[in-house]
């Protein structure tokens, strides 16, 4: 039985903006689904439509077997954690947690039991008598989650719940969320713009851009086999290097790089090379010249910025970055490689970077779709 | 170097004393506040003290008065007319404040929507605020006229008996309530509207998702968060109600049969019609004390029960 | 949609004011009330204007309002700036004393202020109206709060550049404070324009009266000529109504501000 289904859902706001365009998505019961994409891609609108805070212009939304387009949020048996937590400032933590249950006329004893259960689960017992203003960001976040969990909803909706926390706390909470989901198994829809969160938390991720679904699949699959240039450039950090290239007679060329790909038709291409796939070239590897510009040591690896002997392009929809202070090669985009500290490239040196043929991604230059 | 030479050298490095004083912040500060201080001292501080002195005098505003100690206050305590004035003022306040605040709250909620034409409705509610108390009194004097006023005509249309309104000792004070509510409602509505609009949309959505209907959300989330605004309006309305005067002067002059003589009107009569300035000053101080006590009481109760969002 | 009856109730008195001002004296007193005046008798306005010195009423109110607005803006700005930014001996005590005056109702000040104005020889004159209202503790308080929210760096930079303190106030702080000044100005203007009690006490001669007092005088003199009284009322309310319609947002802001500063 599916958990949540969006069927050809479209949302056009008065004023003309199409926030969500023909989105079809099937979330399994108990699944942890992530909606990820840059700001304005429609993920929050999609979430709000599942919640019932916005109505779809066309298309249907189903929770369980029920079509809920016209059902008010109160009756959908969902719970939501807002980006700014939306805790009732005039109520203590305990009353915040109890609020949803009181609205549903649950018996007092049961309310008390569930509140304490959730408080224990989220380490909130000592904070029950405090007000939100007296809590830290992380504590507030847990209260917001507690308020959602206390209802034992069918669907759990989260709108960028970790974006207001500092980096360290975010990492801790991610693990906490994963553990929680493992324990409770509630269908969860989680919205974020942070692709690291998407990759680490999701069972499946849905990448959205401009209101459209770009790719749906398990994180590893989206990483290994991006469906188009947008996904390729969005997932993975630092982002994939995208080169202008072409295929003629089964031979793909991008700048100095050359490989054989017999099945590929003649066309203009975009060739994708992930920074982590680039290494110091060894014999037999397709390779190209790389002028090292800046080396950033991270301890366990180096991020190396520089220019490739090839023409780079920006991922679709992105503005090319401003000319850097270093002035690289004119207005060019820079390429990035991730290397081991042992390889120690020197700044301003010229090296050869190679890549395993299997790690080379090809995309049609016109449509952006991946070619496999 | 001699000690004297050293001293001369040292004083060369600091500007002359007179320059330091004139350029100093102290002088500048005092120069800036002087006009305000003089005006407020002459027209506020001195009168406050003088009024107290007057209240201990028998004074007819023309010749200098002579001191009679607490006689004015003792007379006030026994004055049946003053007691009636207090009673009328209390009746007025106790009806005016809740009616105007509850009415304004309901209106503010109704006006807090983005439907078409809402600006017209809002304007309609705000406009009476701009009319003067005198104009309000005059218009309502006609509207409530027992013979040709339109209100009695409307009653007539629905078959209800005609009323004497401002000419009926039992009804007059309530008519005053009605006209002052009409005149002041807009103020309360504006304050409430601003407070309503400062409640984050998130909270309302969260409450809806948590299962609360519109009324439950209002009772549990919106109304508590309106606490500060409500407290302010209660205090403000009460202070204003206790000082009622203009409308009384223009409509009933304290009648009929003294039923609308409120404290300030009584003060006016005593001080400027009967020329008992000392007595009037005593009334003023009693009013002052009453306002102070009532306000502090309200603030004390309010602060304990109102939640302030930081 | 109970907003419609509410709008009707709120506007009806004003509509009736207008209707009555255009009727004849007997129409204004007939039962049932006459909704559509015969005529309409615009000349009522002329009659009313001539029956009392309305020209003077308007002029006196204009002078009274403008003078108190200018006075308040000027004196309160000076004082508020000093309280907000300058350190001087006795500053905090002085501020508390000024604030304390806010607690005292006008009725306490009424009689002594009358006596003071009498000693200054300003009874029955516009000067007597204006003097006690040239500066208010409320204005000082409000502007001080506002000045303190401005970034002090601007003033410090000007100080380093050699600007005098007065120069800083007028060239830097005040231009940045237009919203607060507008708010104070509107509140004071409306208060002065609609003031009744103080003019009632101070003014004896009709030609020295400001508008609201003049209106009450009109009503007293022509009690039974409701059409004329209403014409006078309409005339006296129009300026304020016009200002309100054009400066709506400022009005509403001013009022919301008094409620929010809690």
The DSSP secondary-structure symbol of A315 reads P
DSSP tag of A228: B
**Residues A251 and A204 grouped into a single domain:** no
Residue A292 near residue A346 (C-beta atoms within 8 A): yes
Same domain, A281 and A318: yes
Of B149, B268, B285, the CB nearest to C108: B285
Is B200 within a domain? yes
CB pairs under 8 A between B and C: 261
- Is position B101 within any domain? yes
Residue A174 CB burial class (10 angstroms; 0-12, 13-18, ≥19)? middle
Peptide bond into B241 cis (omega under 30): no
Q: Are B31 and B99 found together in one domain?
A: no
- Please tell me whether residues B95 and B18 are part of one structural domain: no
In a domain, A52, yes or no: yes
Segment 186-245 of chain B within 8 Å of chain A by CB: 200, 202-203, 205-213, 216, 220-221, 224-225, 227
Residue B310 pLDDT > 60, yes or no? no
Task: Specify whether A187 is located in the same domain as A224.
Answer: yes
Alpha helical stretches, state H, chain A: 43-51, 93-103, 108-121, 137-149, 167-184, 195-201, 219-224, 229-234
- Tens digit of each residue's pLDDT (9 = 90 or more) over C56-107: 999 999 999 999 999 999 999 999 999 999 988 889 999 999 988 988 999 9
Kindly state whether residues A81 and A217 are assigned to the same domain.
yes
Q: Is the peptide bond before B256 cis (omega within 30 degrees of 0)?
A: yes
Of B131, B138, B140, the CB nearest to C229: B138
Contact B33 C237 (CB under 8 A): no
Phi and psi, residue A86, nearest 5°? 50, 45
B287 close to B265: Cβ distance less than 8 angstroms = no
Residue B227 falls inside a structural domain = yes
Last residue of a domain, one of A208, A229, A250: A229
Read off the DSSP letter of residue C73: H
CB atoms within 10 A of CB C256: 21
Residue B60 belongs to some domain of the structure: no
Question: What angle is formed at CA C166 by the lines to CA C162 and CA C169, rounded to 5 degrees?
Answer: 100
For residue A327, what pLDDT is reported?
40
Chain C residues with beta carbon closer than 8 angstroms to that of B250? 216, 219
- Evaluate whether residue A234 is within a structural domain: no
Residues A104 and A215 placed together within one structural domain of the fold: yes
| Residues of chain C below pLDDT 50 | 262
B near C: at least 3 beta-carbon pairs less than 8 Å apart? yes
- Do A151 and A68 share a structural domain? yes
A349, A292 in Cβ contact below 8 A? yes
A229, A262, A287 - which closes a domain: A229
CA A234, A239, A245, A246 dihedral sign is negative
Task: Please check whether residues A243 and A223 belong to one and the same domain.
Answer: no
Q: How many CB pairs under 8 A join A and B?
A: 61
Does B24 share its domain with B85?
Answer: no
Rounded-to-integer distance, Cα A174 and Cα A192, Å = 12
Indicate the SS3 state at residue A59.
strand
Q: Are residues B29 and B147 in the same domain?
A: no
Preceding amide of B108 cis, omega within 30: no
The stretch B29-34 carries a mean pLDDT of 91
Q: How far apart are CA A302 and CA A196, in angstroms?
A: 19
- Looking at the structure, tell me whether residues A71 and A145 fall in a common domain: yes
Quote the pLDDT of residue A57. 93
> Which pLDDT band, with edges at 50, 70 and 90, does B9 fall under?
low
Q: DSSP assignment, residue B224?
A: H
Please indicate, yes or no, if residue B130 is contained in any of the structural domains: yes
* Domains in chain B, number: 2
**Cα-to-chain-centroid distance, residue B160:** 35
Q: How far apart are CA B211 and CA C44, in angstroms?
A: 61
pLDDT-derived band of residue B4, with 50, 70 and 90 as boundaries? Answer: low
Per-residue tokens: A107: 């018996």
Helical ranges in B41-79 per DSSP H: 46-55, 71-78
**pLDDT attached to residue A15:** 85
B38 and B80 share a domain? no
B 179-198 near C (Cβ less than 8 A): 182, 185, 187, 190-191, 193-195, 198
Distance CA A122, CA A145 (A): 8
Q: Could you list the residue range(s) of the whole structural domain that residue B198 is in?
A: 75-305
Q: In chain A, how many domains are there?
A: 2
**A86–B211: do the CB atoms touch at under 8 Å?**
no
> Alpha carbon C54 to chain centroid distance?
18
Q: Do chains B and A touch (3 or more CB pairs under 8 A)?
A: yes
Query: Which residue positions in chain A have pLDDT lower than 50?
Result: 317-331
Kindly identify which residue of chain B lies nearest to residue A87, measuring between CA atoms.
B203
Look up the domain containing A336 and give its range: 239-371
- Nearest-CA residue of chain C relative to B247? C196
Regarding whether B264 and B135 lie in a shared domain, the answer is: yes
Is B70 a domain residue? no
Same domain, yes or no, for A212 and A248?
no
Instruction: Answer whether B221 sits within 8 Å of A88, measured CB to CB.
Output: yes
CB contact under 8 A, B121 and C111: no
Shared-domain flag, residues B167 and B280: yes
C-alpha distance from B153 to closest chain A C-alpha (Å): 47
The pLDDT assigned to A325 comes to 42
Domains (range + CATH), chain C:
53-260 (1.10.3720.10)
* Residues across chain A: 372
Eight-class DSSP state of A258: E
Q: Does residue A147 sit in the same domain as residue A18? A: yes
Q: State how far residue C138 is from chain B, nearest Cα, in angstroms.
A: 11
| One domain for residues B200 and B249 | yes
Chains contacting chain B through 3 or more C-beta pairs under 8 A? A, C
The reply to whether A269 and A130 lie within a common domain is no
Q: Which of residues 113-172 of A touch B (CB under 8 A)?
A: 133, 147, 151
User: Which residue, B96, B95, B118, is CA-closest to B107?
Assistant: B118
Say if residue B216 is in the same domain as residue B279. yes
Q: Residue B130 and residue B123: Cα distance in Å, rounded?
A: 11
B145 token code pair: 């006229």
Domain membership flag for residue A119: yes
CATH number assigned to the domain comprising residue A41? 3.40.50.300
pLDDT of residue A274: 93
Of C90, C187, C184, nearest to C140 by C-alpha is C184
Contact partners, residue A70, CB within 8 Å, separation at least 6: A55
Q: Are A113 and A69 contained in the same domain?
A: yes
Please check whether residues B27 and B141 belong to one and the same domain: no
- For residues B145 and B287, membership in a common domain is answered with yes
Over residues B83-125, the pLDDT tens digits come to 999 999 999 999 999 999 999 999 999 999 888 888 888 889 9
B144 and B24 both lie in a single domain: no
Whose tokens are 């290994």? That residue is: A224
CATH at residue B290:
1.10.3720.10
- Residue B176, in any domain of the structure: yes
Main-chain phi, psi angles of A190, to 5 degrees: -125, 125
Residue A142 resides in a domain: yes
Task: Kindly state whether residue A223 falls inside one of the protein's structural domains.
Answer: yes
Selected for mutation to probe chain A from B199, B201, B209 (highest A CB count within 10 Å) is B209
Residues of B in contact with C262 (CB under 8 A): 228-229, 231-232
Task: Give the separation between CA A294 and CA A306, rounded to whole angstroms.
Answer: 7
Cβ–Cβ contact B115 with A under 8 A:
no
Q: Which chains touch C (3 or more CB pairs under 8 A)?
A: B
pLDDT in tens, B156-199: 999 999 999 999 999 999 999 999 999 999 999 999 999 999 99
Rounded to the nearest angstrom, the gap between the alpha carbon of residue B94 and the centroid of all alpha carbons in its chain is 14
| Placement of tokens 């198994």 in the chain | A185
**Residue by residue, what is the 3-state secondary structure of B157-222?**
HCCCCCCCHHHCCCCHHHHHHHHHHHHHHHHHHHHHHHHHHCCCHHHHHHHHHCCCCHHHHHHHHH
This prediction's pTM: 0.85
Residue of A49, A77, A80, A88 to mutate, testing the B interface (most B Cβ within 10 Å of its Cβ): A88
% chain B with pLDDT above 90? 74
- DSSP element (H, E) containing A209: strand A204-209
Cβ–Cβ gap C16/B127 under 8 Å: no
Q: Is residue B61 part of a domain?
A: no
Say what the ipTM of the complex is: 0.89
Output b/e per residue, C207-230; b: 16+ Cβ within 10 A: ebbbbbbbbbbbbeebeebbbbbb
The answer to whether residues A230 and A214 touch, using CB atoms and an 8 Å cutoff, is yes
């Amino acid at each position: 039985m599916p958990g949540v289904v969006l069927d050809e859902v479209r949302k056009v706001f008065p004023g003309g903006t199409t926030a969500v365009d023909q989105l079809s998505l099937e979330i399994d019961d108990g699944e942890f689904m992530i909606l990820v994409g840059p700001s304005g891609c429609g993920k929050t609108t999609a979430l709000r439509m599942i919640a019932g805070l916005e109505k779809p212009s066309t298309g249907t939304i189903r929770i369980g077997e029920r079509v809920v387009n016209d059902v008010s949020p109160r009756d959908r048996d969902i719970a939501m954690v807002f980006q700014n937590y939306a805790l009732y400032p005039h109520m203590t933590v305990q009353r915040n947690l109890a609020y949803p249950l009181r609205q549903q006329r649950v018996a007092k004893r049961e309310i008390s039991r569930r509140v304490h259960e959730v408080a224990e689960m989220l380490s909130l017992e000592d904070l029950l008598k405090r007000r939100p203003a007296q809590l830290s960001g992380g504590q507030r976040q847990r209260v917001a989650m507690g308020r959602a969990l206390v209802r034992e909803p069918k669907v759990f909706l989260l709108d960028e719940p970790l974006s207001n926390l500092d980096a360290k706390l975010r990492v801790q909470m991610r693990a906490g969320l994963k553990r929680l989901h493992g324990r409770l198994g509630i269908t969860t829809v989680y919205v974020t713009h942070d692709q690291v969160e998407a990759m680490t938390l999701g069972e499946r991720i849905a990448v959205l851009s401009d209101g459209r679904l770009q790719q749906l699949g398990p994180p590893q699959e989206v990483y290994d086999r991006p469906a188009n240039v947008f996904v390729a450039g969005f997932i993975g950090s630092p982002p994939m290097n995208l080169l202008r290239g072409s295929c003629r007679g089964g031979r793909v060329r991008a700048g100095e790089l050359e490989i054989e790909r017999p099945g590929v038709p003649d066309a203009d291409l975009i060739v994708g090379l992930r920074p982590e796939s680039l290494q110091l070239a060894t014999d037999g590897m397709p390779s190209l010249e790389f002028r090292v510009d800046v080396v950033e040591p991270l301890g366990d690896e180096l991020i190396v910025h520089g220019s490739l002997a090839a023409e780079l392009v920006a991922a679709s929809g992105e503005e090319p970055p401003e000319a850097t202070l270093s002035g690289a090669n004119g207005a060019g985009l820079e390429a990035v490689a991730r290397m081991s500290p042992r390889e120690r490239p020197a700044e301003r040196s010229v090296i050869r970077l190679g890549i395993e043929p299997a790690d080379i991604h090809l995309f049609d230059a016109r449509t952006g779709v991946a070619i496999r | 170097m001699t000690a004297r030479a050293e001293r001369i050298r040292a004083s060369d490095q600091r500007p002359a004393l007179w320059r330091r004083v004139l350029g100093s912040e102290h002088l500048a500060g005092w120069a800036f506040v002087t006009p305000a201080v003089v005006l407020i001292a002459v027209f506020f501080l001195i009168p406050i003290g003088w009024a107290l002195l007057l209240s201990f005098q028998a004074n007819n505003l023309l010749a200098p008065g002579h001191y009679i100690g607490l006689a004015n206050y003792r007379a006030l305590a026994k004055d049946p007319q003053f007691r009636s004035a207090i009673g009328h003022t209390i009746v007025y306040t106790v009806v005016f404040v809740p009616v105007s605040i509850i009415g304004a709250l309901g209106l503010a909620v109704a006006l807090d929507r983005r439907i078409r034409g809402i600006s017209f409705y809002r304007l309609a509610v705000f406009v009476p605020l701009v009319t003067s108390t005198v104009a309000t009194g005059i218009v309502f004097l006609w509207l409530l006229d027992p013979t040709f006023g339109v209100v009695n005509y409307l009653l007539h249309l629905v078959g209800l008996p005609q009323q004497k309104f401002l000419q009926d000792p039992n009804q007059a004070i309530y008519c005053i309530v009605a006209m002052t509510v009409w005149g002041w409602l807009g103020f309360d509505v504006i304050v409430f509207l601003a407070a309503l609009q400062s409640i984050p949309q998130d909270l309302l959505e969260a409450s809806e998702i948590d299962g609360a209907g519109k009324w439950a959300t209002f009772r549990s989330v919106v109304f508590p968060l309106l606490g500060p605004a409500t407290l302010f309006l209660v205090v403000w309305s009460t202070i204003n109600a206790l000082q009622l005067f203009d409308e009384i002067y223009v409509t009933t002059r304290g009648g009929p049969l003294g039923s609308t003589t409120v404290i300030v009107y009584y003060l006016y009569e005593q001080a400027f019609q009967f020329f008992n300035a000392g007595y009037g000053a005593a009334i003023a101080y009693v009013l002052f004390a009453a306002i102070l006590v009532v306000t502090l009481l309200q603030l004390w109760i309010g602060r304990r029960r109102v939640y302030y969002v930081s | 949609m109970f907003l419609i009856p509410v709008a009707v109730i709120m506007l009806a008195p004003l509509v009736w004011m207008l209707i009555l001002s255009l009727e004849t004296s007997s129409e204004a007193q007939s039962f049932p009330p006459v909704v559509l005046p015969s005529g309409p008798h615009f000349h009522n306005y002329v009659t009313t204007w001539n029956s009392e010195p309305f020209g003077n009423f308007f002029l006196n109110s204009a002078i009274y309002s403008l003078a108190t607005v200018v006075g308040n803006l000027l004196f309160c700005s000076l004082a508020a700036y000093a309280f907000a930014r300058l350190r001087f001996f006795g500053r905090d005590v002085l501020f508390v004393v000024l604030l304390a005056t806010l607690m005292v109702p006008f009725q306490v000040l009424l009689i002594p202020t009358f006596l003071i104005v009498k000693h200054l020889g300003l009874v029955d004159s516009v000067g007597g109206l204006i003097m006690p209202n040239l500066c208010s503790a409320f204005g000082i308080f409000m502007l001080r709060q506002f000045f303190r929210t401005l970034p002090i760096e601007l003033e410090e930079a000007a100080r380093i550049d050699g600007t005098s303190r007065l120069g800083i106030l007028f060239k830097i702080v005040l231009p940045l404070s237009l919203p607060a000044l507008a708010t104070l100005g509107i509140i004071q203007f409306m208060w002065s324009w609609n003031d009744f009690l103080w003019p009632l006490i101070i003014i004896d001669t009709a030609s020295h009266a400001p508008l609201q007092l003049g209106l009450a005088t009109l009503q007293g003199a022509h009690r039974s000529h409701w059409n004329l009284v209403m014409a006078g009322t309409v005339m006296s309310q129009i300026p304020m109504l016009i200002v309100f319609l054009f400066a709506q947002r400022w009005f509403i802001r001013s009022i919301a501000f008094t409620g929010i500063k809690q």
